[in-house]
Amino acid sequence: MSKTRVAVIGAGNVSDEYLRALTSYPDLTVTAIADLDVARARAQAENYGVAAFGTVTEILGRDDVDLVVNITIPAAHAEVALAAIEAGKHVWGEKPLTLDRKSARAVLDAANARGVVVGNAPDTIIGPAIQTSHRELAGGSIGAARTVLTLMQGPGPDAWHPRPQFLFAKGAGPLFDIGPYYVSTLVQLLGPVVSVSAVGQTPRAERIIGSGPDAGTSFPVEVSTHVSVITTFASGVVGTSVYSFDSPVQRQLFEISGADGTMEVPVSGFDGPTRLLDGATDDGQWRTVPAQGAPSGRGVGVLEMARAIRDGERPRASGELAYHVLDVMLSIEESIAADGATTPVESTAPLVQPLAAEWDPTARTADNGTEQK
């Protein structure tokens, strides 16, 4: 029951969020950091008191690494994950799992053959906010779920991001940039998706950078910037979702209607209350349930994965879930290309139970074996 030894591959901006969390959890120890830019890896190692740094090949060859956190750019996710798996390491990846089904399937198949585990972001689904909603839903607070409505609308990141071009390129847009948070939560709470029907629009072929040194510069848009989706779940639940970078009004909503009421799920981060409306009354009064559980942030999925591996269990933010989420998003793209035709989703995802409210990422369980489930 020793600590899980973690190496971080990718020392860019997002590594700060991960390293702050990973170096704080008593059940983990960060032993190494790798990056194509070794100087950047060295700087992060010094910043966070990590003993080793180097190239990806050097770090994957170390004996003091059990689990690799792969936070490279999406185009490199598959290559780095496969190299880590070949080296016998478990892999946690940033979203998306990869950019296509073939490479994603190759990652999962290689892990199964090697006897290692794959987990994947987003880990907001492990945070106390969504876990509280999961427990309320599983406990019957609104009865059996029937429909779900999700909205993510705003003017787009080109207004504030100094280099937004990549967010409007193939493999991004509101669907692939923000969609993983919503689709992962949908599947976590409501189970696997069996089909989608979607339409997309690109109202502006070019966008203008609104801030930074390149402000005023135009760039091409390669993806749909407004996507509307009808989703059918294996359970029979039907969902409606909008992902848009074309709305002057910023709006986020995740609302499940059930046989006995309605639930509003917080999806903007790791914290936030769940709101419940009793369908048996007509007073329109919402009941607020604060997020229950120890505070957490990005990186908590790595910890939950490490504890699950130690117990011989599947992590909640599993590779299988990430594959299904990718499959759903690719099916949405295919439906858009087919003018909204209903498109089957061939994969499925495992059903998982919510975490207990007492689950604590700051607890030390690695030394005494008292794992919390």
- pLDDT(373) > 80: no
Q: What is the pLDDT of residues 193-223, one digit of tens each?
A: 999 999 999 999 999 999 999 999 999 999 9
- pLDDT(372) > 70: no
Backbone angles phi, psi at 151, to 5 degrees: -135, 135
Backbone angles phi, psi at 14, to 5 degrees: -70, -20
pTM, to two decimals: 0.93
The whole-chain average pLDDT of the chain stands at 94
Q: Which residue has the higher pLDDT, 269 or 367?
A: 269
Q: What is the pLDDT of residues 149-193, one digit of tens each?
A: 999 999 999 999 998 998 999 888 999 999 999 999 999 999 999
pLDDT of residue 173: 94
- pLDDT(369) > 50: no
Range 305-310, long-range pairs (CB < 8 A, 24+ positions):
305/67, 305/90, 305/92, 305/117, 305/119, 306/4, 306/6, 306/27, 306/28, 306/66, 306/67, 307/27, 307/365, 307/371, 307/372, 308/117, 309/4, 309/67, 309/90, 309/117, 310/1, 310/4, 310/366, 310/371
Q: What is the pLDDT of residues 29-62, one digit of tens each?
A: 999 999 999 999 999 999 999 999 999 999 999 9
Q: What is the pLDDT of residues 84-142, one digit of tens each?
A: 999 999 999 999 999 999 999 999 999 999 999 999 999 999 999 999 999 999 999 99
- In CATH terms, the superfamily for domain 4-120 is NAD(P)-binding Rossmann-like Domain (3.40.50.720)
Q: So where are the chain's domains?
A: 4-120, 125-289
CATH code of domain 125-289: 3.30.360.10
